[in-house]
Amino acid sequence: NAGVTQTPKFRVLKTGQSMTLLCAQDMNHEYMYWYRQDPGMGLRLIHYSVGEGTTAKGEVPDGYNVSRLKKQNFLLGLESAAPSQTSVYFCASSYALAGPTDTQYFGPGTRLTVL
C-alpha cells in the first residue's frame, strides 16, 4: 500500500515550457486535490476532483489544468510555465471528510522551479 505518490520529485523548467505532474493513489479514494505551498501562504487549493471524470477549480486555478481519466490518477498540467509557478506542489486524496478518522492523505510533494 503505497498511499499517495507523486512524479517527479523535482523539476526545473524554463519560462514557457510545459509539463505534467502525476499523482497516484491506491486507497480507492473518490476525492483528489492539488495544492501549492509557498512560504507564508500555507497550502492553497489549485484544482480538485470529486470522482473519475470530474474536475473543479480551487482557490488559485489560473495557469493550470487537470484531468482525472482514471480514479486512481490525478494529473496537473502547466501549459506555459511562469516564474510565479515556482512552488512545492502537493497532491492529496480522501473519502468524504465526515467521519472521526476521515482525513486527506498527502503525497511527498514536487518541487518545481521555473527560471
Torsion sign over Cα 28, 63, 57, 90: positive
CB of 15 to other proteins, least distance (A): 26
Residue 90 near other proteins by CB under 8 A: yes
The only residue of 2, 28, 62, 100 in contact with other proteins, by rule CB under 8 A: 100
Q: What is the CA radius of gyration of the chain?
A: 14
Comparison of 28 and 99: residue with beta carbon closer to other proteins: 99
Q: Does 50 bind other proteins (CB under 8 A)?
A: yes
Candidates 41, 79, 84, 115; binder of other proteins (CB under 8 A) is 41
According to CB under 8 A, which one of 7, 18, 84, 103 is a site residue for other proteins? 103
89 binds other proteins (CB under 8 A): no
Return d(Cα 74, Cα 29) in angstroms, integer.
11
Q: Is 34 in the site for other proteins (CB under 8 A)?
A: no
